[in-house]
Amino acid sequence: MRLLVVLLLAMITGSAVQASEGWALSISFSQTLPVMRPDTPAPNDPGQVFYLQRSTNRNTIVYAARFDADGNLDPHNPLAVYWRRFEENGQIQALNFEQRNFAFGVRVRPGAQPGEFTVRSRATARAQATLRQTEPFRAELVGHLDGEEIRLKYAFVEAIDGLIPRVIEVRAFGRLESGAIATLITRP
């Protein structure tokens, strides 16, 4: 999963020229958000700002903003990360210790502006985005791509499952201010 972090790091920091040693990164643009897993529902959870799907099964990781009773981002716990278990009944399941602390979890700190939080990946401290309140009970996860803001939407990991999964390709999708969809693809 470190390669997912590398791809998201590239999207978030705007460094689109380097992915990881031995991995190539390319960018394409489209007007519509591609569907990578037509057999899997795209989650639409309350407060959802990002999700991650994988080729190995239909279970999806959801990143969802949490709000207080007034609709403001919860200052103590503004972002929840959990599984949506579509292989079963679609129920929510917490990440386990390793997933939370080494792969998919995040650290969240207050940002520079009210209603903003800095979100950092647990897998690498360099991967950073901004969780930003857009209106009551609504938020977005924002990164930068070549100096332009990008609202992160979802990522898809093509992998071979096993004791140590082998990542073949990672695609991350986000909407630019112009309305175009940016797709960042990394592969060996």
- The per-residue pLDDT for 35 is 94
- Exposure b/e, 62-72, CB count within 10 A at least 16 = b: bbbbbbeeeee
- Dist CA 4 CA 180 (whole Å): 22
Identify which has the larger pLDDT, 49 or 12.
49
- The per-residue pLDDT for 12 is 40
Alpha helix locations (H) across the chain? 2-13, 97-98
- Dist CA 68 CA 53 (whole Å): 28
Return the closest-CA partner of residue 43 out of 99, 1, 96, 85.
85
59-63 mean pLDDT: 97
**Mean pLDDT highest for which of 23-37, 49-63, 95-109?**
49-63
Give the start-to-end residue ranges of the domains of the chain: 2-187
Query: Is 80 exceeded by the pLDDT of residue 138?
Result: yes
Token duo for residue 30: 């489209």
Torsion angle defined by CA atoms of residues 108, 158, 32 and 23, in that order, rounded to the nearest 10 degrees: 80
- The per-residue pLDDT for 128 is 81
59-87 mean pLDDT: 97
Query: Is 50 exceeded by the pLDDT of residue 142?
Result: yes
- The per-residue pLDDT for 147 is 83
- Dist CA 102 CA 111 (whole Å): 23
Q: pTM, whole model, 2 decimals?
A: 0.86
